[in-house]
Chain A
Amino acid sequence: MIETSNLSKSYGSKKVLQIDDLNIPKGQSFGLVGNNGAGKTTYFSLLLDLIKPTTGHIKSNEILVHDSEDWKPFTSAFIDESFLIGYLTPEEYFYFIGELRGQNKADVDSLVAQFEDFFHGEILGQKKYLRDLSKGNQKKAGIVAALIGNPEVIILDEPFANLDPTTQIRLKGIIKDLAETQGVTILVSSHDLLHVTDVCERIVVLEKGEIVKDLETNEATLKELEAHFAGSEMV
């Protein structure tokens, strides 16, 4: 589904990302972990064509991401709060995204209705603008908006950060369900090793912009990751 080859991104002489070869097959739940500055957000930004690759390319469903815009209809993302429109209510925001993705109000309503317990009664019908919601609630709205319109690729940067424990558990359920039963390719980055190992079939560790580990998740994965990060911390 997503093929990355010879991809690199430099700012001046400083190389922040170098991925020679990375293939993510359709329907995989893919986790990206790494310390601050490892290049996680850079990779996601390249995937969304928000920054220009220095060399190489990413192909999404055989479409060159930085060349054509045809990947947009089947891709959605929530990277940070700058993906929210602060002066809209959550409902208006969902409808707006829905309209961009060719969904009518009823479609959006029925999708959003599935997430009522995820929202915990704090998002819908509050008559509040998104900018007035708490950080956690903003995040919830942004994540759900990324699910509108049956995307085939969903990119979530640090989805677990800022969420309360109940919501974290619910979100894990949602992500698992999307990948396993609906065949959605889902890319998640996180600092929380426990959450990613719980959710993702495959975990890639980035360090200073390069892939240092590429693991199929099994019982030993969490231990291995912990050992890796504890080790690299000491160096």
Chain B
Amino acid sequence: MKLKHFINLEWKKFFRSASFGKSLALNILMIFLALYFIAIFLIMGIALFPGLKKAFPDDDPFIILNGVMFFYILADVVMRFFFQKLPVMAVKPLLPLPVKRSKVVNYVLRKSAFSFFNFLPLFAFVPFSVFLISNDYSTSGVLVWLLTVIIVTLIINFLNFIIESYASETELSFLPVIVLAGGLFALNHFNIISLADLVANGFIGIYENPILVLVPILILIGLYIINFKQLKQKLYLDSSLKTKVTEVNAANLEWTKRFGDIAPFMQLDLKLLWRNKRSKSSIWLLLIGLLYGLFFYPNPIYADMPWFFAFIGIFVTGIFLINFGQFIPAWDSGYYKLLMSQNIKYEEYLKSKFTLMALSVVILFVLSIPYVYFGWKILVAHFAAAVYNIGVNTHVIMYGGSFNRKKIDLNQRAAFNYQGTGAVQWIIGIPLMLLPLAIFGITYWIGNFEIACVVLTVLGVIGIVLHQKLMRFITQKYIDSKYKMIDAFSQD
């Protein structure tokens, strides 16, 4: 009865949301991503049994799989933390209505059980189980084992919400889950407690002795109750009305005075980056971006592909530029009206962003110098890429920003938050990443590595020389779309 109402509300929320049409492309992308993962899991599930049999003819594939279940569970916990969110619904309007709180909570929790993340493992584990049964494993045992896998998946599902609720209260939101997963992994890795064996024995134990399946079921029920209590407590208005006192961390930003007129904007930008959840994560992404090269350079395959170095260089030295730049001026969307009615020069406002991005490229280049360990060519390519980033990409991304029409809520969590992402962000990637790759690649084939580096550097230098002219052009673009931006940013 009530359930029907809830579902009806969500249906309307989805189809009547202001961004429905706009985010359709994004939804399609997500569907493709989902299909991709389903395909991978399905292939894995089908190929796993014969594959393991072939690779380890002496071992039992079932034992091997149970042996790695621990790592699978850890990976699942971490993945979910970043991707899955508790399917909250707007409860505020429901509170004064005659709907039992427990009903709302039960609905939200049960709905989460139907998450894509809980179905995905089935695509792998069901085919695997079929193989097991057809290879004369005990049918009832395998079915109970599969049931256990499903229950464990649900356990992770509800565990994740508990972790998330703690994580949302701490400063570094993803620290708890990393500590938890890393700690468990370390305990196992250094043989302090052999958790992998423990988990494996558990699964095999249940297979041999199906009655033991009661243990995970009890854990699941326990977690559900904890979640229920936690969520029910949060279902009061005062948790959202409560004034949370965040102590101000005022850093000394006097050094920005050296940049003259743009100093107030630089201070504002730095505070923006440091004090908001969404932007803060782009600082953490720096670290990931900086280490990005390690995925490639240690691999001997790439050592013979110098034309690829520039691409990695663009990415490593430009990670902040890309992350921060793609949402100019949406970062300031919350108070764009203020900026537009204040006594500011648009050019100074943009110049502050430029300076910040250029500085980040320089700093990241310096930090990426240790990559020289993998060959001096990498350093040269990174240098060329850094100059190109400063001279060309900064301007390209700011030009792209003048087409930005999507606002950003700075207070929302950042990881895998697609708010503010529109066609602009996807299209801008082409000139930003692929163009330098193409230029570098082509000159590399025609000439050689040195010429390619020189060409990229020269293009960057040209951009730096033309900086004033380009900025005037870009500024004009922003001024031209001023009314459209104000209008778009004031819509929810």
CB nearest to B487 among chain A residues: A51
Known contacts A82-B335, A82-B490, A128-B246: A49-B340 contact under CB 8 Å: yes
**Contact at B410–A96, with CB atoms within 8 Å?**
no
Interface size class of B (residues with CB under 8 A): 20 to 34
CB nearest to B337 among chain A residues: A82
- Residues of chain A within 8 A of B246, CB atoms compared: 128-129, 132
CB distance from B159 to the nearest CB of A (A): 31
**Contact at A84–B338, with CB atoms within 8 Å?**
yes
Known contacts A51-B487, A96-B268: A72-B343 contact under CB 8 Å: yes
**Contact at B341–A132, with CB atoms within 8 Å?**
no
Q: Mark B328-357, 1 if CB is under 8 A from A, else 0.
A: 000000111110111110000000000000
Across the interface, A82 reaches (CB within 8 A) one of B250, B336, B342, namely: B336
- Residues of chain B within 8 A of A49, CB atoms compared: 340-341
**Contact at B338–A83, with CB atoms within 8 Å?**
yes
A86 at interface (Cβ–Cβ under 8 A)?
A: yes
Known contacts A50-B486, A72-B343, A127-B248: A87-B271 contact under CB 8 Å: yes
- Residues of chain B within 8 A of A92, CB atoms compared: 250, 271
Which residues of chain B (251-296) have a CB below 8 Å from chain A?
Answer: 263-264, 267-268, 271-272, 275-276
A99 at interface (Cβ–Cβ under 8 A)?
A: yes
* Interface SS majority for chain A: loop
- Residues of chain B within 8 A of A51, CB atoms compared: 483, 486-487
Complex Cα–Cα for A102 and B342 (A): 12
Complex Cα–Cα for A88 and B265 (A): 13
A16 at interface (Cβ–Cβ under 8 A)?
A: no
- Residues of chain A within 8 A of B486, CB atoms compared: 50-51
Known contacts A82-B335, A82-B337: A132-B343 contact under CB 8 Å: no
Complex Cα–Cα for A89 and B341 (A): 21
**Contact at B264–A100, with CB atoms within 8 Å?**
yes
- Residues of chain A within 8 A of B248, CB atoms compared: 89, 127-129
Which residues of chain B (457-492) have a CB below 8 Å from chain A?
Answer: 483, 486-487, 490
B247 at interface (Cβ–Cβ under 8 A)?
A: yes
Please report the total number of A residues contacting B with Cβ < 8 Å: 34
Complex Cα–Cα for A92 and B268 (A): 9
CB nearest to B344 among chain A residues: A100
Complex Cα–Cα for A79 and B338 (A): 9
- Residues of chain B within 8 A of A132, CB atoms compared: 243-246
* Interface SS majority for chain B: helix
Complex Cα–Cα for A68 and B20 (A): 37
CB distance from B414 to the nearest CB of A (A): 14
CB distance from B419 to the nearest CB of A (A): 16
**Contact at A85–B268, with CB atoms within 8 Å?**
yes
B411 at interface (Cβ–Cβ under 8 A)?
A: yes
- Residues of chain B within 8 A of A99, CB atoms compared: 263-264
**Contact at A100–B343, with CB atoms within 8 Å?**
yes
- Residues of chain B within 8 A of A172, CB atoms compared: none
Complex Cα–Cα for A220 and B264 (A): 49
A131 at interface (Cβ–Cβ under 8 A)?
A: yes
**Contact at A52–B483, with CB atoms within 8 Å?**
yes
A97 at interface (Cβ–Cβ under 8 A)?
A: yes
CB distance from A81 to the nearest CB of B (A): 9
**Contact at A97–B342, with CB atoms within 8 Å?**
yes
CB nearest to B346 among chain A residues: A69
Q: Mark A52-93, 1 if CB is under 8 A from B, else 0.
A: 100000000000000000001101110110111111110010
Complex Cα–Cα for A80 and B411 (A): 19
- Residues of chain A within 8 A of B340, CB atoms compared: 48-50
**Contact at B343–A73, with CB atoms within 8 Å?**
yes
A191 at interface (Cβ–Cβ under 8 A)?
A: no
Q: Mark A88-122, 1 if CB is under 8 A from B, else 0.
A: 11001000110111100000000000000000000
CB distance from A150 to the nearest CB of B (A): 12
CB distance from A61 to the nearest CB of B (A): 14
Complex Cα–Cα for A102 and B264 (A): 11
Q: Mark B32-67, 1 if CB is under 8 A from A, else 0.
A: 000000000000000000000000000000000000
- Residues of chain B within 8 A of A77, CB atoms compared: 341
- Residues of chain A within 8 A of B243, CB atoms compared: 132, 134
CB nearest to A83 among chain B residues: B338
Complex Cα–Cα for A48 and B336 (A): 13
User: Which of B243, B250, B343, B483 neighbours the largest number of chain A CB atoms within 10 Å of its CB?
Assistant: B343
- Residues of chain B within 8 A of A52, CB atoms compared: 483
Known contacts A51-B486, A96-B268: A86-B334 contact under CB 8 Å: yes
Give 10 pairs: A residue, B residue, CB < 8 Å, sorted on A.
Answer: A51-B486, A51-B487, A82-B334, A83-B337, A85-B335, A97-B342, A99-B263, A101-B343, A127-B247, A132-B246
5 new A-B contacts, CB < 8 A, other than A83-B338, A87-B272, are: A73-B343, A82-B490, A83-B337, A99-B263, A132-B245
List residues of chain A with CB under 8 Å of any chain B CB: 48-52, 72-73, 75-77, 79-80, 82-89, 92, 96-97, 99-102, 127-129, 131-132, 134, 149
* 6 residue pairs, one from A and one from B, having the closest CB atoms: A87-B275, A83-B338, A99-B264, A48-B341, A72-B343, A127-B248
